[in-house]
Structure 1
Amino acid sequence: MDKHIVYIVTDSNRTYLEVGYCTDINAKLQEIQGVVGGLFSATPKLNNVVFLEEFDSKEQAVLRQYQLRSFTRMQRERLIRMKNPNWLNLKPFPARTENKKVVVYA
C-alpha cells in the first residue's frame, strides 16, 4: 500500500514555504532541486524538508495539501514549529541499493 505524503519545503533562508503532495519524497526532492529557472535565473533553491505528514489515502492527503496551502505564512510557521521546533531538515535518506567496497589505505 502506497503512502501519500504532504510536505513543506523551504530554502536555506526560510524565505519560501512551499506545500506539496507526493508518494515518493526522495524522487520529488530530486525533481525540485533539478529545476532550472527558465524566465528568471534567481529561482529559490528549495532543499530543506521541514514538515512531513503521511496519509493512507490520496483523498486525505490532497485535502490536507489544499488546507495547508490556504494557511497564512504565520500559520504554516506555527505548524512547523509544533513538530520541528529547530527547523531541521527531515529529508529521509534513500536506501542504499549497491554495496560499495571501501578501501582503507594506512
Structure 2
Amino acid sequence: MKKHLIYIATDPNRAYVEAGYTQDLIAQSANLQFHSIRNTGKLPKFNRIVHVEEFTSFESAQKRLMELTHFTRMQKERLIRKHNPNWLNITSSCGAISNHPTVRVAQALAAAY
C-alpha cells in the first residue's frame, strides 16, 4: 500500500515554511537539498523537512495539504514546535522516519480523516 506524506519544509533561518506532498520522503529531502545548493537566486532555499504526516489515501492527504497551505505562519510554527521543538531535520536519521514522534502523531491524525 502506498504512503501519502504531507511535509513541512523550512530554510536554514526558519524564515520560510512551506507544506508539500510526496510519496518518498527521502527522495524529496534529497531533492530539496539539491535545489537549495543549486539555487543562486533570491528564492527560499528549503533544505530541511521538520514535520511529516502520513495518510493512507491520496484524497485525505490532499485535504490535509489544503488545510496546511491555508494555515498562518504561526499555526504552522505551533504544529512544528509541538512535535519537533528544535526544528531538526527528521530525514537525517538514516531513514528511520517511521519511529519519529511526528509520524506517529500523523498516523493518529490520519485516522481522523
Same structural fold, with TM-score higher than 0.5 when normalized by the shorter chain? yes
The percent of aligned pairs where both chains have the same amino acid is 48
Secondary structure of the 2:90 match is coil
Take 1:83 and 1:29, find their aligned partners in 2: how far apart are those partners? 19
Structure 2: state its 5+ residue gaps.
Answer: 97-113
Matched with 2:22 is 22
Residue-by-residue CA offset, 1:47-83 (whole Å, 9 max, x unaligned): 1111011111111111100000000000000111111
3-state SS, counterpart of residue 32 of structure 1: helix
Shift of 1:4: 0.7
Worse-superposed segment, 24-33 or 2-11? 24-33
Report what 2:66 is aligned to: 66
Moved over 6 A (4+): none
Which deviates further from its counterpart, 59-68 or 82-91? 82-91
**How much has 1:28 moved relative to structure 2?**
1.4
TM-score (norm 2): 0.74
What is the TM-score with the length of structure 1 in the denominator? 0.78
Partner of 1:56: 56
Q: What amino acid is the match of 1:93? A: C
What's the CA shift for 1:41? Answer: 1.5
1:1-106 alignment runs, 5 A limit: 1-35=1-35, 36-37=38-39, 41-91=41-91, 93-94=94-95
Give the conservation status (yes or no) of the 8 Å contact 2:19–2:65.
yes
Larger Rg: 1
Letter of the 1:18 partner, please give it: E
Instruction: Tell me how many residue pairs correspond in the alignment.
Output: 93
Q: Which one has the bigger helix percentage?
A: 2
Q: How far apart are residue 94 of structure 1 and its match?
A: 4.5
- Unpaired runs of 5+ residues, structure 1, are 96-106
Local SS of the residue matching 1:46: coil
